[in-house]
Amino acid sequence: MAKWSELPIARRIVTASDEHGRSYFAEDGPPPKILSVTERPGYRNMNIWRLAPLARIDEPDTIIEQTGVLPPPGGVVFRVVDIPPLPKDPLEAQRQATALFARMFPDAQHDSSSPRSSGMHRTDTVDFAVCMSGEIIAIMDEGEKVMQAGDILIQRGTSHAWENRTNDVTRMLFVLCDAER
């Protein structure tokens, strides 16, 4: 276990869309609000992002009813996804992406013909994506970023894809919040 002084400040990556609707990375750096208390040495609170109130505290869990990628209207979905290495053959990668979106996530706006990645898709959600282990490439219409364990991306309804270009499985944590355009 690392000492607190050895832990780096969290990396926050934020996406946006330009005036033509093309996705890009708007920010990449530390969170804008980091709090500490001198009376509690080593304690550090990194506020990453904030949304308006969503649900009542006593709401029951309805995850068993979840289908597709999208959260329920006005709701949230919290999931962990293991992403295997991307196939080296582009046709195989496209076949796998097409099957994934058709079977698991038909409610995503998938664009398998995108020149950026066969996994390009968009949802009307604000997503919090945390790389828990491994390495993942976050792809926008304009650019890409390598994310490593501990990095956080705020995905704001932009066209995007995820590619694992390593030889090991990557584990990601996603929180998808229903949103309006």
* Structural domains in the chain, sorted by start: 4-48+69-178 (2.60.120.10)
Q: CA 110 to CA 118: how far, in whole Å? A: 9
Q: Report which of 170, 153, 152 is spatially closest to residue 10, judged by C-alpha positions.
A: 152
> Would you give per-residue pLDDT tens digits along the chain (181 residues)?
555 556 889 999 999 999 999 999 999 999 998 888 788 887 788 888 877 666 666 777 788 888 999 999 888 999 999 999 999 999 999 999 999 999 999 999 999 889 999 999 999 999 999 999 999 999 999 999 999 999 999 999 999 999 999 999 999 999 999 998 8
What's the CA gap between 159 and 25, in Å, rounded?
Answer: 11
Distance CA 144, CA 165 (A): 12
